[in-house]
Amino acid sequence: MLSRLLKAKIHRCVVTQAELHYEGSCAIDGTLLDLAGIREYEEIHIWNVTNGKRFTTYAIRGEEGSGIISVNGGAAHQADVGDLLIIATFGDFSNAEADAHKPRLVYANPNNTVNHTANCIPVQVA
């Protein structure tokens, strides 16, 4: 049996562009993609922290070091420039793989540079 687990997350990146008439996708700064281990054309889940909307699209590579987070095509209706996003991918893992799995977590600064990386989410306290 396989378990679906969080594979990677880019946390609190900021939308820099929303291009309704661009071919659908989300362009992500290549530096962030590489650190998170997200592949070009991989399905991504986007959770808009600013407005609560959630949607799915695919990643395309943006220029490294540019800070670009561009929500494109119909998904541009789901995000505005300046919105905070969480971008996540999931993978299917066998029990043995799941036991050893650690997600790749990238925490972004407001200019979409890397604040820090991690491989676990801290325990939430009451």
Q: Which residues are catalytic?
A: 25, 58
Instruction: Give the separation between CA 3 and CA 25, rounded to whole angstroms.
Output: 26
- Backbone torsions φ then ψ of 55, nearest 5 degrees: -155, 165
Question: Known binder of ligand: residue 30?
Answer: no
Question: Known binder of ligand: residue 62?
Answer: no
Whether residue 87 contacts residue 79, with contact meaning beta carbons closer than 8 Å, is answered with no
Question: Which amino acid, residue 84?
Answer: L
Question: Known binder of ligand: residue 67?
Answer: no
Question: Known binder of ligand: residue 36?
Answer: no
Q: Which positions make up the binding site for substrate?
A: 57, 73-75
